[in-house]
Structure 1
Amino acid sequence: MTNPEPFQRARRPEQKEERRLHLLETARAALRGGMELSELGLNELARQAQMTKSNVYRYFENREALLLALLEEESAQWRSELSRRFVAIPQATAEGIAQAFAGASAAYPLMCRLLSILPSIIEHNVSSERLVEFKLSIAALLADVAAQLHHIAPTSSVAAYVSFLRMAMALLIGLWPLSHPAEALSSVLSLPELQPLQYDFESDLAAGLLLLLQGLAREVSLKG
């Protein structure tokens, strides 16, 4: 995509969408390149995108609104990857589902980084209207994934899988910062006696998800 010229205002809808996508791609590239989330302000985004800050504000009210939009895009791509992995499971066992979910999540580290600060930072500085829109999109995503889980493993209901996914997202949000500690803490955790406090994101997420699915299966068995 061609970078917009500095100070040139987009007027047609397709131009505005092109600018919005350009800003999101610029932010994505910066974060994937190693920039900390806290360093990506709208001033820095405007500089890297070759746009004025006032033009950037036409698309995002603040940094958190930008990160929320980026999270939506990353989540949609993760959803496609998750679907691909579910279809590839030879038999829809709890182990296979847990590993597919964990593998798809590990493949989208930016999504996981954004999710890890969603409840504590991003959602604190976005308008109520925008939050409603975002939460509805997440609810639809969970319902869609739950329906697919029910299709490949119909032993549990769609509603039960929605409950599983709610807990799975909470587990993901908590595990990401635990498995990616600050450099000083990482050195401390390398001590042999602190090995029980070390986390590996993908394997620990898969283990936690398997426990959730096994609990779900036991609940279904007791009700049956």
Structure 2
Amino acid sequence: MTAPETFQRARRPEQKEERRLHLLETAKAALRNGMEVSELGLNELARRAEMTKSNVYRYFENREALLLALLEEETGRWQQELDERLAAVQPATGQQLAQAFAGASAAYPLMCRLLSILPSIIERNVSQERLKEFKLRTIVMTAAVADLLHARAPALPVAAYFTFMRLAIPLMIGLWPLSHPAPALCEVLAAPELEPLRYEYESELAAALLLLLCGLGSD
């Protein structure tokens, strides 16, 4: 294994970006391979990335700042996936839009995992400066997706799709943990009488989004 000292302090902008991307990819690989978010501290990240902890701190103030950066990266990829899915059914009906949105979301489980802990964990331990930057980017992302949805399914105005996005995000945050319960709860929910309390992420999200679209269309 390469010693951590192999990664010397980056001085040029391109070197810094290379190190940052290396850390993000390392964290992403760990989480995709089953690591719990709570286990991914900066010490563990430094070990896996073969860097010193002091170098890791040059790019991320703490674990939550790292997770926030991962969420932003995954969200960007989700936007592209959504665009491609909607392009295949343009102009999309409300049902097709809801299904494309839910399908694109389910295709990025890491994004969904991070979204589900965004308000309760990630946003509670990041600097105000970083939070403001993230929230401003969220507004830009929401507006961009609203424009995309209007272009692909012009039945509703852009303003309605902006509202749709504002309400879709909380749906995603809430549905992910409900549809991915802890092992002990999975066993409990296997009882036939508890079937109404079981959630399947993609289908339930699509159904909720379609109801939301229908409500916006009736205003």
- TM value normalised by structure 1: 0.94
**Pairwise CA distance, 1:153:** 2.3
User: What is the aligned-residue RMSD (CA, Å)?
Assistant: 1.5
- Which aligned pairs between 1:56-205 and structure 2 lie closer than 5 A? 56-205=56-205
- Mapped contact 2:179–2:199 kept (Cα < 8 A): yes
**Residue identity in the other structure for 1:38:** S
Which moves more between the two structures, 82-91 or 117-126? 82-91
Distance across 2 between alignment mates of 1:131 and 1:183: 33
**What is the SS of the residue equivalent to 2:120?**
coil
Instruction: Report how many aligned residue pairs link the two structures.
Output: 218
**Residue identity in the other structure for 1:177:** P
- Mapped contact 2:65–2:122 kept (Cα < 8 A): yes
Partner of 2:206: 206
Distance across 1 between alignment mates of 2:188 and 2:64: 32
Distance across 2 between alignment mates of 1:155 and 1:101: 16
User: Could you list the runs of 5+ residues in structure 1 that have no partner in the other structure?
Assistant: 220-224
Identity of aligned residues (%): 72
Alignment CA distance shift 1:148-1:90 (3 Å): closer
1:18 is aligned to 2:11: no
Q: Runs of 4+ in structure 1 displaced over 4 angstroms?
A: 2-5
Distance across 2 between alignment mates of 1:178 and 1:187: 14
Partner of 1:222: none
**What is the SS of the residue equivalent to 1:59?**
coil
**What is the SS of the residue equivalent to 2:218?**
helix
Distance across 1 between alignment mates of 2:111 and 2:83: 16
- Mapped contact 1:31–1:37 kept (Cα < 8 A): yes
